[in-house]
Amino acid sequence: MPQFLSTANSDFDTRFAALLTMKREESPDVDDIVARIITDVRARGDAALIELTAKFDRLELTPETLAFSKEEIDAEVAKVGAEDRAALELAAKRIRAYHERQMPKDESWKEKSGATLGWRWTPVDAAGLYVPGGLASYPSSVLMNAIPAQVAGVKRLVITAPTPDGKSNPLVLLAAKLSGVETVYRVGGAQAIAALAYGTQTIAPVDKITGPGNAFVAAAKRRVFGRVGIDMIAGPSEILVIADQHNDPDWIALDMMSQAEHDESAQAILITTSAEFGQAVAQAVEDRLQTLERRAIAGASWRDFGAIITVADLGEAAALADRIAPEHLELCVENPEALAANITHAGAIFLGSWTPEAIGDYVGGPNHVLPTARSARFSSGLNVLDFLKRTTLARMTPEALGAIGPAAERLAISEGLEAHGLSVRARLDRLNKADKPPKEKLKARLGLEKKS
């Protein structure tokens, strides 16, 4: 059974704090293993990658077969049925349209002083997109990672997608094709992250790595950060639903199970103004757990990490939501926009009872790669900006330097950085005609100036 909490109870603060700090991720001691894997791949390249793939994925590869050939991709894609293809194409179209609106603009302006300032945006040169394999092989993740990168203008996109026992997902390869990614390597784990970060004889290194993975992948991303950029360290999935009594309990139960079925460590929380409604949802969950295909996973998640919280009003609900900072937040209330305006921390918000979180996972348009474990307090979901760099631009005229240069010189002196100040002062002196013209100064330095 999940936890039942109420803000009316004297022990609420203690129990709620415990809920927030509940450890949901398995913490196997993987860091040392990952460190050895990365060192091995850096040292031996393809040979290490092939050996580790055989060990962990039971798949024998050669340098020539690390990536799917075009013929192999075409053959796998041909297996996709018409309805699945149409659904994936619709998702790709909507995701692309949404992310195209995120593209920022270059800016440049001239101040009264004569200084010109601005910035420009440029994409990273290459990005590696990690796609989990096995039971967690999701074509939607390919679209969500690859399309923003392509919209941003990344020139080289590659995917690493482990294929345990050589079994690939045709939908994953179709998603890659729809996203404009031609190179898909059938490798995974920490060894794939190492290959993307440092390169091998066959795999060229990239500048940014994105995409979810298991504990080994997460540990590897932590270790290579700095050598390359990463999107985030994703934890188990989570959903918070705020719902009043004017909802179908079964709908809310299904919405929460949609995340609980991901992982035994996933978390589903309901906040409601009606204790009776909360009980009705709990019963609906139990009923659904009798029939769901992934009931063992969803049931463990609900039993160990689920919670139903009763609050006095939606103001309390909003305050608790900000403390939880959920990955996914559903607002199933009469005026969801008004409630959303009072909530600051959430990866993605789904407004109204007719907007199940699952729409966001597939065809809504916004990205489903979102911050977990309360990191929505300080980070955002994957987007076009993750694949762009902003470079600032500045140009001084003599007049502009004369106006603001003395302040720069003063600050440099205050910080004890002499050359900083002198680099400004030398130009100010020239501006004030207190120094020789450039040609005369050069002659003096070369000893060519006539002796007086």
280-283 long-range Cβ contacts below 8 angstroms, 24+ apart: 280/249, 281/243, 281/249, 281/252, 281/253, 281/256, 281/308, 282/1, 282/2, 282/4, 282/308, 283/249
Would you state the pLDDT for residue 442? 52
- The pLDDT mean for the chain works out to 94
Whether 135 shows a pLDDT value over 80: the answer reads: no
The pLDDT of 25-54, averaged and rounded, is 91
pLDDT category of residue 443 using cuts at 50, 70 and 90: low
**Sheet with 107-110: strands ordered across:** 107-110, 116-123, 388-395
pTM: 0.91
Amino acid letter, residue 218: A
Q: Which of 285, 294, 296 has the alpha carbon at shortest distance from 250?
A: 285
Residue 447's contacts (CB-CB under 8 Å, 6 or more residues apart) are: none
Residues annotated catalytic, as ranges: 327-328
Residue 29's contacts (CB-CB under 8 Å, 6 or more residues apart) are: none
Would you state the pLDDT for residue 161? 94
Would you state the pLDDT for residue 1? 83
183-198 residue pLDDT tens: 999 999 999 999 999 9
347-386 residue pLDDT tens: 999 999 999 999 999 999 999 999 999 999 999 999 999 9
234-256 residue pLDDT tens: 889 999 999 999 999 999 999 99
Q: Are 352 and 247 in contact (CB under 8 A)?
A: no
Structural domains for the chain: 3-22+235-364 (3.40.50.1980), 31-74+124-232 (3.40.50.1980), 396-446 (1.20.5)
